[in-house]
């Protein structure tokens, strides 16, 4: 394919307004006429609510609970599953569970009243960790085994292969909670509007909000219109979570017949919002007498928290990615979503894939190292290729350019020299990881569930407005889409309008999630612009609408999870170099180099920005971002104790790409917003473990833990 100059960077359309501060975030609106709301939440992880003692309420102030839901309304939030209650009724399942909302005109008085509410509980013993959940600590509260959801996949015949194997090695890899740390905390406002409601919210998926909360009042979702406000970052944390904010606001607006607004402060947001699922992957891997893998079996456990909500889909993606960029002759995986008394886990950049990708990468390193082999040489034996069989018995449709990407990273990082020179345990280490990310919704989800639609509206003066529900949350999409339309129509980008979506005026093009915006909605707009072009020069006003069409010949069965889970993957190779201070254990990241296959790039600078941010966020997950939950309470609740890496913690990244256009994407582009997160953590840990010569099987590993590994860790060469 000829390199289109669509890749050439343009100035982002939101660059000036965001950098000069003129853009309005939810907290800037004022909504002067509206009441303030503040959630009253459970302070215990598990128990029965015995009594709620309210202080005397001044006029105009009210405490609203599930009891205020009108007849016919339902006390749940519809986030894929419908089990997450909008308000706790008799029992609470986690710290931070919404019990009610207190509303009134003055924010300080609302806060004051909230502090005076006394809730008496009969406390029960909580299950906090995956192990607690599995052991049914305090008694099972989901089914009789605390398993919210479960799935199993098999390719080939694992039991048969194990019987023939020379030996079977076992290893457990664990990953922790992660907080999204979007720059802007959650906030929304809901007001009565005619015979319906109007919501303003910092959110990724305005149509999700409508659908999720409308059952509270038993109204049609179309009675609620949701206007997305400029969103200061989301990373999956505003995919379903805004429903938890907007549900109580909707009920409050209904009861008070007035608008109600709520803005979280940072600590409130960290303590009381969804997180990345902690995980535990237990491998049993069969090796032949030469140390080759004949079968890999895994059990994948995700800590789902108190409610299932969207977690089954997260677990599915985790299991689909458990073989990473490899093809093993036989594989099996079983996934379990474990119920615990922690805040329900939810979407976070990578949507379940980073956990298993980290696990398989790390496990592969350890199998190699115990044999005295360089992990890279060992991994090379198993790279999946075009036509290779995936974990769901589908095939890889596209060309896999891992060899080319690896070549770029090896050259840029001088890996081969360093890997030889830096002896294990020398204090210097270089690591490398391989990863992918299935683009868009799994299987036929785009076709069967989302059915995304987008419109282009041409005005007489030649301006063209894009109408779809995709949101800008920092990833650059509000520049990408106008660029695609302008490019096809051959008009200046200034002639294209693209506003933050309002569900009352845009078609539902689906959520801004699963890195789907460019590859799916970008294609809808590319196609609409192509249809518009022949009529563009006429002085008329008209619209063109397109809808997603799935290519034939790639079957998927959502009941058995068999077939083509993804038509296109983003692919990545990342190398990280570290140096460890032998006296303090302090780790310095000396270099980070990556190469990605995102199809054809729509805008080099935007994609580059995604790489820089995603790679660093992945290193943070593996290193500094410690988020412990003790007894049901998150211990890190502010930016001074939850440590995200900054640009000061990382040298300039070496960034490169390969050109591998995706057949069905706009200009050949594929999803990449999550991909860039998926592998840097494994590369960092590979580098760190080589530098200290010790095996690491759980992340995060903050500097303060490194000395412990140096003194007590297992040697890399020890048998598994």
| Chain contacts with ligand MTE (rule: CB under 6 A) | 233-236, 349, 473-475, 477, 512-518, 610, 613, 671, 673-674
Distance CA 633, CA 610 (A): 32
Residue position matching structure tokens 């938890």: 244
Q: Could you tell me the end-to-end alpha-carbon distance of the chain, in angstroms, rounded to an integer?
A: 47
412 touches 581 (CB < 8 A): no
Q: DSSP character for 125?
A: P
In this structure, what token pair is assigned to residue 337?
A: 């979503």
CB of 275 to ligand MTE, least distance (A): 13
Q: 192: which strand partners?
A: 197
Q: Taking the CA atoms of the chain, what radius of gyration do you get in angstroms?
A: 25
Helix (H, G, I), strand (E, B) or coil at 294: strand
Q: 578: which strand partners?
A: 429, 589
300-359 positions binding ligand MOS, by CB under 6 A: 347-349, 351
Q: Which does 477 bind (CB under 5 to 8 A by kind): ligand MOS, ligand MTE, none?
A: ligand MTE
Distance CA 64, CA 71 (A): 15
Q: Which does 277 bind (CB under 5 to 8 A by kind): ligand MTE, ligand MOS, none?
A: none
Cβ count within 10 A of residue 15: 12
Rounded to the nearest 10 degrees, the angle between the axes of helix 680-692 and helix 353-370 is: 30
State the pairing for strand pair 453-458/35-41: unpaired
**Window 119-158: contact mask with ligand MOS (x via CB under 6 A):** ----------------------------------------
Measured from the CB atom, is 283 or 677 closer to ligand MOS? 677
Rounded to the nearest 10 degrees, the angle between the axes of helix 353-370 and helix 604-622 is: 60
63 touches 54 (CB < 8 A): yes
Measured from the CB atom, is 515 or 637 closer to ligand MTE? 515
Q: Residue 123 region, left (φ>0) first, then alpha (ψ -120 to 50), else beta?
A: beta
In this structure, what token pair is assigned to residue 265?
A: 């402060």
Phi, psi of 333 (to 5 degrees): -145, 150
Residue 564 makes contact with ligand MOS by CB under 6 A = no
**Window 615-654: contact mask with ligand MOS (x via CB under 6 A):** ----------------------------------------
Q: Which does 709 bind (CB under 5 to 8 A by kind): ligand MTE, ligand MOS, none?
A: none
**Window 155-174: contact mask with ligand MOS (x via CB under 6 A):** --------------------
Distance CA 340, CA 46 (A): 10
Distance CA 345, CA 678 (A): 18
Measured from the CB atom, is 99 or 627 closer to ligand MTE? 627
Measured from the CB atom, is 309 or 517 closer to ligand MTE? 517
**Window 230-249: contact mask with ligand MOS (x via CB under 6 A):** ------x--x----------
Distance CA 534, CA 556 (A): 37
Q: Which does 475 bind (CB under 5 to 8 A by kind): ligand MOS, ligand MTE, none?
A: ligand MTE
The closest of 468, 474, 406 to 435, measured between CA atoms, is 406
Measured from the CB atom, is 240 or 261 closer to ligand MOS? 240
Q: Which does 473 bind (CB under 5 to 8 A by kind): ligand MOS, ligand MTE, none?
A: ligand MTE
The closest of 273, 363, 313, 295 to 689, measured between CA atoms, is 363
CB of 1 to ligand MOS, least distance (A): 28
Measured from the CB atom, is 64 or 606 closer to ligand MOS? 606
Phi, psi of 641 (to 5 degrees): -115, -15
CB of 141 to ligand MOS, least distance (A): 27
Q: Which does 233 bind (CB under 5 to 8 A by kind): ligand MTE, ligand MOS, none?
A: ligand MTE
CB of 657 to ligand MTE, least distance (A): 16
CB of 676 to ligand MTE, least distance (A): 8
State the pairing for strand pair 118-123/47-53: antiparallel
Q: Which does 474 bind (CB under 5 to 8 A by kind): ligand MOS, ligand MTE, none?
A: ligand MTE
**Window 363-402: contact mask with ligand MOS (x via CB under 6 A):** ----------------------------------------
Can you state the percent helix, strand and coil of the chain, rounding each to 5? 30, 25, 45
Q: Which does 660 bind (CB under 5 to 8 A by kind): ligand MTE, ligand MOS, none?
A: none
Measured from the CB atom, is 666 or 673 closer to ligand MTE? 673
Q: Following CA atoms 168, 304, 432, 719 in sequence, which dihedral angle do they give, to the nearest 10 degrees?
A: -20
Q: Which does 518 bind (CB under 5 to 8 A by kind): ligand MOS, ligand MTE, none?
A: ligand MTE
Measured from the CB atom, is 317 or 366 closer to ligand MTE? 317
Residue 513 makes contact with ligand MOS by CB under 6 A = yes
Measured from the CB atom, is 278 or 673 closer to ligand MTE? 673
CB of 512 to ligand MTE, least distance (A): 5
201-220 positions binding ligand MOS, by CB under 6 A: 204
Measured from the CB atom, is 510 or 693 closer to ligand MOS? 510
Distance CA 83, CA 81 (A): 6
CB of 31 to ligand MOS, least distance (A): 27
Measured from the CB atom, is 475 or 612 closer to ligand MOS? 475
Measured from the CB atom, is 317 or 363 closer to ligand MTE? 317
- In sequence order, the 6+-apart residues with CB closer than 8 A to the CB of 697 are 171, 172, 173, 174, 362, 366
CB of 214 to ligand MTE, least distance (A): 24
Measured from the CB atom, is 18 or 550 closer to ligand MTE? 18
Q: Which does 207 bind (CB under 5 to 8 A by kind): ligand MTE, ligand MOS, none?
A: none
Distance CA 56, CA 148 (A): 41
684 touches 431 (CB < 8 A): yes
178 touches 376 (CB < 8 A): no
State the pairing for strand pair 196-201/293-305: unpaired
One residue of 95, 322, 514, 544 binding ligand MOS per CB under 6 A: 514
CB of 349 to ligand MTE, least distance (A): 4
Distance CA 404, CA 412 (A): 13
Residue 47 makes contact with ligand MOS by CB under 6 A = no
CB of 239 to ligand MTE, least distance (A): 7
Measured from the CB atom, is 512 or 660 closer to ligand MTE? 512
The closest of 576, 559, 664, 684 to 620, measured between CA atoms, is 684
Q: DSSP character for 517?
A: I
Tell me which H or E stretch contains 40: strand 35-41
568-607 positions binding ligand MOS, by CB under 6 A: none
CB of 504 to ligand MTE, least distance (A): 23
Measured from the CB atom, is 137 or 349 closer to ligand MOS? 349
Contacts with ligand MOS by CB under 6 A lie at 204, 236, 239, 347-349, 351, 513-514, 674
């Amino acid at each position: 394919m000829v390199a289109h100059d669509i890749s050439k960077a343009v100035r982002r359309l939101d660059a000036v307004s965001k950098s000069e501060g003129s853009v309005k975030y939810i907290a800037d609106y004022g909504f002067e006429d509206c009441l303030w709301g503040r959630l009253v939440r459970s302070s215990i992880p598990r128990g029965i609510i015995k009594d709620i003692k309210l202080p005397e309420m001044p006029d105009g102030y009210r405490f609203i609970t599930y009891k205020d839901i009108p007849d016919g309304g339902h006390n749940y939030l519809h986030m894929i599953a419908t089990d997450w209650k909008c308000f706790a009724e008799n029992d609470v399942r986690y710290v931070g569970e919404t019990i009610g909302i207190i509303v009134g005109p003055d924010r300080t008085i609302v806060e004051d009243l909230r502090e005076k509410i006394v809730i008496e509980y009969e406390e029960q013993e909580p299950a906090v960790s995956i192990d607690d959940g599995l052991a049914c600590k305090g008694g099972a509260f989901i089914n009789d085994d605390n398993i919210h959801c479960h799935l199993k996949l098999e390719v080939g015949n694992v039991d048969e292969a194990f019987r023939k194997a020379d030996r079977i090695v076992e290893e457990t890899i664990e990953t922790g909670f992660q907080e999204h740390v979007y720059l802007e905390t959650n906030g929304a406002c809901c007001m009565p509007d005619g015979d319906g409601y109007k919501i303003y919210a910092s959110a990724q998926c305005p149509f999700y909000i409508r659908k999720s909360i409308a059952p509270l009042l038993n109204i049609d979702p179309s009675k609620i219109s949701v206007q997305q406000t400029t969103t200061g970052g989301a990373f999956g944390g505003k995919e379903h979570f805004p429903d938890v904010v907007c549900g109580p606001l909707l009920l409050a607006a209904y009861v008070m017949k007035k608008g109600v607004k709520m803005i979280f402060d940072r600590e409130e947001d960290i303590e009381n919002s969804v997180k990345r699922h902690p995980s535990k992957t237990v491998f049993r891997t069969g090796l032949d007498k030469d140390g080759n893998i004949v079968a890999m079996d895994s059990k994948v456990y995700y800590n789902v928290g108190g409610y299932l909500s969207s977690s089954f889909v997260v677990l599915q993606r985790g299991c689909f990615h458990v073989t990473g960029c490899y093809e093993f002759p036989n594989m099996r995986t079983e996934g379990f979503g474990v119920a615990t008394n922690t805040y329900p886990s939810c979407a976070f950049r990578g949507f379940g894939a980073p956990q298993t990708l980290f696990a398989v990468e790390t496990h592969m390193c350890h199998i190699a190292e115990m044999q005295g082999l360089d992990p890279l040489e060992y991994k090379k034996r198993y790279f999946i290729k075009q036509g290779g069989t995936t974990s769901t018995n589908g095939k890889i449709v596209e060309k896999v350019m891992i060899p080319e990407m690896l070549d770029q990273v090896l050259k840029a990082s001088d890996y081969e020299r360093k890997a030889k020179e830096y002896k294990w345990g020398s204090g210097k280490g270089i690591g490398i990881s391989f990863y992918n990310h299935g683009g868009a919704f799994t299987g036929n989800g785009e076709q069967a569930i989302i059915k995304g639609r987008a419109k282009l509206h041409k005005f007489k003066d030649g301006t063209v407005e894009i109408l779809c529900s995709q949101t800008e949350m920092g990833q650059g999409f509000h520049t990408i889409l106008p660029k695609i339309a302008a490019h096809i129509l051959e008009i200046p980008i200034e002639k294209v309008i693209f506003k933050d979506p309002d569900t009352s005026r845009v078609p539902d093009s689906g959520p801004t999630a699963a890195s789907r915006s460019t590859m799916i909605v970008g294609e809808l707009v590319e196609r609409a612009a192509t249809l518009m072009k022949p009529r563009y020069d006429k002085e008329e006003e008209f619209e063109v609408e397109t809808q997603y069409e799935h290519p034939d010949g790639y079957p998927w069965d959502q009941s058995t999870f068999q077939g083509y889970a993804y038509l296109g993957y983003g692919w990545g190779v990342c190398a990280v170099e570290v140096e460890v201070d032998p006296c303090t254990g302090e780790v310095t990241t000396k270099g980070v180099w990556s190469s990605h296959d995102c199809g054809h790039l729509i805008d080099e600078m935007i994609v580059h920005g995604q790489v820089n941010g995603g790679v660093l966020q992945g290193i943070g997950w593996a290193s500094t971002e410690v988020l412990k939950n003790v007894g049901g309470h998150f211990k890190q609740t502010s930016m001074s104790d939850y440590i995200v890496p900054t640009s000061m913690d990382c040298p300039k990244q070496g960034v490169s790409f390969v050109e591998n256009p995706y057949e069905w994407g706009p200009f050949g582009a594929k999803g990449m917003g999550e991909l860039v997160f998926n592998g840097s953590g494994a590369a960092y840990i590979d580098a760190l473990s080589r530098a200290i010569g010790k095996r690491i099987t759980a992340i995060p590993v903050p500097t303060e833990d490194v000395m412990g590994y140096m003194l007590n860790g297992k040697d890399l060469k020890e048998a598994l």
